[in-house]
Structure 1
Amino acid sequence: MVPAHKVPGQTSSPPYELLVDKQTYSVGEQINVTIQQTGSETFEGFYIQARPVGRNEPVGTFTALDDDITLVVDCAPDTQNAVGHRRTNYSLPIVQKTVVSVIWTAPNVTSGDIQFRATVLQNFTTFWVNALASPVITDPTATQGPTNVPIATGATTPSSSTITTDGCGVTKGCYGVPDGCSPPNCDLLSTWVTDATTETVIVEVTGKSDGYVAIGFSRDKIMSGVSNVEVAYSNGLLSCRFHRAVRQTARAGTGADQYFDLGNSSYHIFLAEGPSEVQSDGSVQIRRHTSRVYSDQPVDVMSIGQVAATSTGATTPPSATITTDGCGVTKGCYGVPDGCSPPNCDLLSTWVTDATTETVIVEVTGKSDGYVAIGFSRDKIMADDDMYECVRHPDGNIEVFSSYSTGHSRPTRDATNSGVSNVEVAYSNGLLSCRFHRAVRQTARAGTGADQYFDLGNSSYHIFLASGPTQVQSDGSVQIRRHTSRVYSENPVDVTSISLVATASTPLLVKLHAGLMMSAWMFTVSIGAVLARFYKPMWPNSTWCGVKVWFAGFNATIHAVMGIIVTSLAVIQPFMSLLRPGPDEPNRVVFNWFHWGFGTAARIMAIIVMFLGLDFPAMDLPDEAMYVLASWVAWLVLSEIYVIVMFLGLDFPAMDLPDEAMYVLASWVAWQALSEIYVIVMFLGLDFPAMDLPDEAMYVLASWVV
């Protein structure tokens, strides 16, 4: 892991990160590992290994995705258990990299929890040794050994059933999620009661976790001193009971007020659970929570009461609660496609102000297993926008984040997440849904950008809806990635009023691009291919602008190609024609094969591009468009095979046909193509509003065609 560069490595934090696409794994499973920049600094070299937590030997095997810049390394013969950078030409500068991905395959035997470690080189003299670490990827099938960190001195181990909700609100205070639960059906539960001296609070906390559960006291909703500890772990339920002084003495060192005085103030109670991680010194530290809840109101732990929860993921209503019922009457709505109802909406948002008119209740739902988001924008460009992310974690937990978009970079989340409250979430059958409250005139976010919370009461804003995948970061957090679907309202919307919002019309450039490409590849390319292939014998010596007619027709269609890859293949064709050998030269066969191969590849790839274009939200095409294009492709393939067979049949000696037969067949092919175009145009014309034709007209025309 240490480069032999004869200079010491850096001790600062590297401007790079190591990401993985899974949080758990099993034997033989593959994981995508990515090293990428976090700022503007590129890197030249890297070295990655996968290691069991707490050990140094590498495990598993790597596979390179780009052999030009990636080299699989054997730390022991034939192991392929590490991967680094490749430099194929030492006479050229090293390739500057922004992101590199590789595939790691788990070994066929259980290795326990593993973590990827990496050394990264910005250049020859600037590098960080073993400084990048991925989140820990757990192996649920592994048998975990006992921790080498004592839970507590003299800790006893009661049965987890000793933590119950018996007496809640009568003899002790309680806070559980879901509300009203009893173990073992509580996701998280805490209880508290003061002892006879009223100088000590007896706290119990339990939850479904094999890593940790925690309780915290907070002066707001933003995220020592224990004795008489009792602990238990049974059937996936981790439980702890401990004593804590009401007026605990201050912690040593700085932060003398870090032990809150539970006797004179009330505090919000936080409960959390998540995984733990073994450190290099053998200690066990908690990682970012996978579930977190907090009380809606501050709690006096000296009193006895039943506490209600407020959470970014505790309440899970069915997705059916987000509907289009009342749209335009009792609430505002914006859905895509227009007029849709769940679960048939790709994206949908609704909004309504509560009885106080000081809070907007926002709902957003969409077809995604990563995230859906709603944003308020002053224009139709996704930058400087007030956003709210509904994010589903890989473990199924769902959270809502308040964030601010500054452009094409990842949105910045509000550290306090103070923009949202009363959150409800759901995920069912591929539909991700969130409901939350947002103040009409929200207080400013902390720090810079005090105007990042838009005043929804005095202005109207374009509404953006988006969905896409998520990615687990090195710190265990889950961040949204670039959207795969995005739409926005045509006009600004006043969310304090009730309205039905229309999607922005398809941009003119999108329409032109789609129209030109479809026209080029459905008509001109098909005609050009037929001319080049079948009409060459008809006009062997006829010319157009000094070029043989059959060849010029094909060449002219090339310039209508859209798409970078397809265009690149097509542009090569005319340059190849400049090198075309004579008919009798031996290299003519090689040219013909290359010419045919490039042309055929371009046509096939263009068809793929058109199919992909059908899903663009900006096109707003109905599902039937897929069947129309598929039918055309099938017709194209079958008709070409049919024509090839017929032309080949003309040369059979047994046919003994005159030369004129070629012209007769060619004329029939031309008539067939024109008649197909004519029929297509007529069917398209049936839908023109100006025609005002009854539905029966479609059947009349279809009968005539048949």
Structure 2
Amino acid sequence: MRQMRRIWLMVVVVVLLQSLLSKEVLSFPDGAPPKACLSLEPVHPGGQLQTSYPPYQVLPAAGQGRVRLILGSPQGLAYEGFIITARDVETGEYVGEFTNLPSSAKALECIPGIKNAVTHSSKEKKQNLEFDWEAPVNYEGTIIFNSTFAQDYSTYWVGVESPRVTVLKRSIDILTSSTAQNTFRTTTPPSFSPTVFYEPLKTQEPIYDGCGTTKTCFGVPEECWQTKNCNALVTVLVRGERFLFEMLGRGAKYIAVGLSRDQSMGNDSVVECTNEGGQIGLHMSWNNGKSNTRIPTPSDSIQLESSAIRDDVITCSFWRAKTTVVQGQRFDLANTQYYLLLASGSSLKANGIGYHDVLREPTGESKFLSDVSSFKASNNLLIRVHGALMLAAWIGTASVGILLARYYRQTWVSSQLCGKDHWFAWHRFFMVLTWLMTISSFVIIFVELGDWSSQTIHASVGLATTILCFIQPFMAAMRPHPGAPRRSLFNWTHWFIGNAAQICGIIAIFFAVRLSKAKLPEWVDWVLVAYVVFHVLTHLVLTFLGCASDRQASQRVNSFPMKDMHARGSMVHPDARRDAPHAGARKTIFGIYFVVVAAFTAALVVIVVLAPIEETWDSFTKTVS
């Protein structure tokens, strides 16, 4: 009996020891066992498989015959354990071997004799482990890296996928980004077990994660990364000797970022991601003055990390070396301060990118890209002054001045201003203002841009406006006396150039609304259309009113400035110093026209000066509330 008790006591002790030892083994502080290769599931009693989106990621960068892998977190979170494998997406077979492992990682042989997987070698906290995966010599196919991350003993995520990697006999390309964060994720290939579903994130783009905390961000509209609603965005994340750039662009064929020593184009190193028939291309180019030229891309300077096209949104990420030499100039991202030039456009050229008609924005200051911060956009003060002056000139003063000269020569004739008829004195006053504002605006935009660009219709038509406006006062100073043989030629030429200048000015303003630098909302077009309709209707009403005056008066009303070409007799007519019929109606119309045009001008100037007006208004309402 005593012997039996001893036997049972020994059995209990062995069971307890096995239980304690099994818990220590199952926690695997020195890495996962080979049997974990298939399911990637840690055997942690009491552990909980997380269903939230993983805070970790696997970032592959292609090389010749190998892939450099970084296992980390965009939020900078550490992890204690991990396991990663590489499999063919079609067959599910293990592919290749892992090499150049750090001391905190070790290889696993999922198939005896081949290092098919990597796991941790200790429980120490890890961040951004880097090692290589080498492809078999003659392998052709697409692989995906599948992994598990254990933040601690009880918190882990299974099935964290990398972007897909295509291998064609040692030539490697990273084709697409990993599964979008607003969709469910599963482990890959589909035959893997188990299948894990994750809850989608509220944010649609992971590019915003870490802005201002772990990476530098610059977006348009300004600080849009805070609301996660950018039209264009570039972020910079430092990883040792390399810099990870991520870009997002909406409604464009390309999104590009340039490194510049000032805020203007010229001697800038540019990298662009282009939508080439549904595939993203990564290219380098060079800003030579105001022109952009694609250049050969050295394999060791930039590497595409991931890319995607969803709806009208382009996203891509690429690695750039800390130091590169482009077009004979050295770019040191760690030790030199740079401005960022962010641009996007709606067209591609045969061997390059088209004009940045969607967006072009420089940062307001230069910074070290190795410092985590956020850029602010430049204030574009001179561009706003240029727009405000042109609006005041061609919507405001030119409209009033031309109206007075055309319809009011026989109104307010009973008195004079400074020895001149009222219409002439005020016409000259308003047109001199128009000339001064136009020339000033022209000089200001040259100071801002540095040189002339004919890549936009706005610039070409604006130049025509300025030239026509410039010659008008000199032509007026040389006008012949009334009744002179060449007076009729002057009248017609002066009338034609003045009206052509105003038409060109208004056309240029319409095209300015579409310029990315203007930052004007599309509904400004309708404000301009309303002005044009009102302007034309006023001219029509005054024309009909002039015809009615002609029928009622013995002296024909001089409605048009060129009609005095045969007016020698009319200048001495007894009614010449009396207002023409319907003067009261004309005065009333002029008063209404002046007030409405002033309102249009003031509204448009405010919109331009406070651009982007919608964001300014939102900020104002939030401040008031």
The Cα shift of 1:518 comes to 0.7
Comparing 312-321 with 420-429, greater Cα deviation is found at 312-321
1:625 matched residue in structure 2: 524
The counterpart of 1:665, out of the listed 585, 607, 622, is 585
Contact 2:479-2:487 within 8 A present in 1 as well? yes
Q: Aligned partners of 2:255 and 2:352: how far apart in 1?
A: 12
Q: Deviations over 1:219-250 (max 9, x none)?
A: 799xxxxxxxxxxxxxxxxxxxxxxxxxxxxx
Equivalences for residues 592-611 of structure 1 within 5 A: 592-611=491-510
The counterpart of 2:137, out of the listed 292, 301, 326, is 301
Is the aligned partner of 1:413 residue 2:295? yes
Equivalences for residues 132-171 of structure 1 within 5 A: none
Q: Aligned partners of 1:346 and 1:309: how far apart in 2?
A: 31
- The residue matched to 2:263 in structure 1 has which SS? coil
Q: Aligned partners of 2:621 and 2:519: how far apart in 1?
A: 25
Equivalences for residues 69-84 of structure 1 within 5 A: none
Q: Relative contact order (C-alpha < 8 Å, sep 6+): which is higher?
A: 2
The counterpart of 1:520, out of the listed 383, 393, 411, is 393
Contact 2:66-2:133 within 8 A present in 1 as well? no
The Cα shift of 1:592 comes to 4.5
Q: Aligned partners of 1:640 and 1:431: how far apart in 2?
A: 46
1:492 matched residue in structure 2: 366
Contact 2:514-2:522 within 8 A present in 1 as well? no
Contact 2:392-2:601 within 8 A present in 1 as well? no
* Percentage of pairs with the same residue: 27
Q: Aligned partners of 1:315 and 1:416: how far apart in 2?
A: 21
Larger radius of gyration: 2
1:569 matched residue in structure 2: 468
Equivalences for residues 497-576 of structure 1 within 5 A: 497-508=371-382, 510-538=383-411, 549-556=422-429, 557=431, 559-560=435-436, 561=438, 563-574=462-473
The counterpart of 2:320, out of the listed 438, 444, 462, is 438
1:335 matched residue in structure 2: 219
Q: Aligned partners of 2:65 and 2:139: how far apart in 1?
A: 17
Q: Deviations over 1:106-125 (max 9, x none)?
A: xxxxxxxxxxxxxxxxxxxx
- The residue matched to 1:501 in structure 2 has which SS? coil
The Cα shift of 1:520 comes to 0.8
Q: Which amino acid counterpart does residue 305 of structure 2 have in structure 1?
A: V
Q: Cα–Cα, structure 1 residues 536 and 297, in superposed 2: closer, same or farther, change >3 Å?
A: same
Q: Cα–Cα, structure 1 residues 488 and 302, in superposed 2: closer, same or farther, change >3 Å?
A: closer
Report the number of matched residues: 391
Q: Aligned partners of 1:583 and 1:549: how far apart in 2?
A: 18
Q: Aligned partners of 1:392 and 1:663: how far apart in 2?
A: 63
Is the aligned partner of 1:381 residue 2:264? yes
- The residue matched to 1:664 in structure 2 has which SS? helix
Q: Aligned partners of 1:382 and 1:403: how far apart in 2?
A: 12
Contact 1:506-1:620 within 8 A present in 2 as well? no
The Cα shift of 1:366 comes to 2.2
Q: Cα–Cα, structure 1 residues 574 and 418, in superposed 2: closer, same or farther, change >3 Å?
A: same
Q: Deviations over 1:358-378 (max 9, x none)?
A: 543321122465432112223
Q: Aligned partners of 2:253 and 2:579: how far apart in 1?
A: 65
1:400 matched residue in structure 2: 282
The Cα shift of 1:465 comes to 0.7
Contact 2:234-2:245 within 8 A present in 1 as well? yes
Q: Cα–Cα, structure 1 residues 588 and 446, in superposed 2: closer, same or farther, change >3 Å?
A: closer
Q: Cα–Cα, structure 1 residues 642 and 327, in superposed 2: closer, same or farther, change >3 Å?
A: farther
Q: Deviations over 1:173-218 (max 9, x none)?
A: xxxxxxxxxxxxxxxxxxxxxxxxxxxxxxxxxxxxxxxxxxxx96
Q: Aligned partners of 1:540 and 1:304: how far apart in 2?
A: 92
- Segments of 5+ residues of structure 1 without an aligned counterpart are 1-216, 222-295, 473-477, 698-706
Q: Cα–Cα, structure 1 residues 622 and 382, in superposed 2: closer, same or farther, change >3 Å?
A: same
Contact 2:545-2:582 within 8 A present in 1 as well? no
Q: Deviations over 1:562-593 (max 9, x none)?
A: 53201222344445556767766787666554
2:309 matched residue in structure 1: 427
Q: Aligned partners of 1:396 and 1:305: how far apart in 2?
A: 21
Contact 1:414-1:445 within 8 A present in 2 as well? no
Q: Please report the RMSD computed on the Cα atoms of aligned residues, expressed in angstroms.
A: 4.7
Q: Aligned partners of 1:463 and 1:422: how far apart in 2?
A: 19
Equivalences for residues 653-692 of structure 1 within 5 A: 653=552, 659=579, 662-676=582-596
Q: Cα–Cα, structure 1 residues 541 and 412, in superposed 2: closer, same or farther, change >3 Å?
A: same
Equivalences for residues 63-142 of structure 1 within 5 A: none
Q: Aligned partners of 1:516 and 1:304: how far apart in 2?
A: 63
Is the aligned partner of 1:364 residue 2:240? no
Q: Cα–Cα, structure 1 residues 668 and 346, in superposed 2: closer, same or farther, change >3 Å?
A: same
Q: Cα–Cα, structure 1 residues 361 and 369, in superposed 2: closer, same or farther, change >3 Å?
A: same
Q: Aligned partners of 1:632 and 1:552: how far apart in 2?
A: 25
Q: Which has the higher helix share?
A: 2
Q: Aligned partners of 1:304 and 1:611: how far apart in 2?
A: 55
Q: Aligned partners of 1:313 and 1:534: how far apart in 2?
A: 70
Contact 1:351-1:360 within 8 A present in 2 as well? yes
2:353 matched residue in structure 1: 480
The Cα shift of 1:487 comes to 1.1
Q: Aligned partners of 2:216 and 2:485: how far apart in 1?
A: 73
Q: Cα–Cα, structure 1 residues 303 and 417, in superposed 2: closer, same or farther, change >3 Å?
A: closer
Q: Aligned partners of 2:420 and 2:376: how far apart in 1?
A: 52
- The residue matched to 2:364 in structure 1 has which SS? coil
Q: Deviations over 1:118-170 (max 9, x none)?
A: xxxxxxxxxxxxxxxxxxxxxxxxxxxxxxxxxxxxxxxxxxxxxxxxxxxxx
Q: Cα–Cα, structure 1 residues 381 and 414, in superposed 2: closer, same or farther, change >3 Å?
A: same
The Cα shift of 1:536 comes to 0.4
Q: Aligned partners of 1:680 and 1:304: how far apart in 2?
A: 66
Is the aligned partner of 1:638 residue 2:534? no
Q: Deviations over 1:393-441 (max 9, x none)?
A: 3x444221245545445456354232223432233444333212234x3
Q: Deviations over 1:28-68 (max 9, x none)?
A: xxxxxxxxxxxxxxxxxxxxxxxxxxxxxxxxxxxxxxxxx
Q: Aligned partners of 2:337 and 2:233: how far apart in 1?
A: 19
Q: Which amino acid counterpart does residue 371 of structure 1 have in structure 2?
A: Y
Q: Which amino acid counterpart does residue 503 of structure 1 have in structure 2?
A: A
TM-score normalised over the length of structure 2: 0.52
Q: Which amino acid counterpart does residue 295 of structure 2 have in structure 1?
A: R
Q: Aligned partners of 1:537 and 1:447: how far apart in 2?
A: 68
Q: Deviations over 1:479-510 (max 9, x none)?
A: 235544421111224444443422100133x2
Q: Cα–Cα, structure 1 residues 430 and 597, in superposed 2: closer, same or farther, change >3 Å?
A: farther
The Cα shift of 1:645 comes to 3.2
Q: Which amino acid counterpart does residue 643 of structure 1 have in structure 2?
A: L
Contact 1:312-1:400 within 8 A present in 2 as well? no
Contact 1:402-1:417 within 8 A present in 2 as well? no
Is the aligned partner of 1:352 residue 2:240? no
Q: Cα–Cα, structure 1 residues 409 and 678, in superposed 2: closer, same or farther, change >3 Å?
A: closer
Q: Aligned partners of 1:606 and 1:681: how far apart in 2?
A: 14
- The residue matched to 1:417 in structure 2 has which SS? coil
Contact 1:312-1:398 within 8 A present in 2 as well? no
- The residue matched to 1:619 in structure 2 has which SS? coil
Q: Aligned partners of 1:503 and 1:608: how far apart in 2?
A: 28
Q: Aligned partners of 2:140 and 2:582: how far apart in 1?
A: 99
Q: Cα–Cα, structure 1 residues 598 and 679, in superposed 2: closer, same or farther, change >3 Å?
A: closer
The Cα shift of 1:335 comes to 1.6
Q: Cα–Cα, structure 1 residues 633 and 346, in superposed 2: closer, same or farther, change >3 Å?
A: farther
The counterpart of 1:465, out of the listed 315, 338, 342, is 342
Q: Which amino acid counterpart does residue 463 of structure 1 have in structure 2?
A: L
2:185 matched residue in structure 1: none
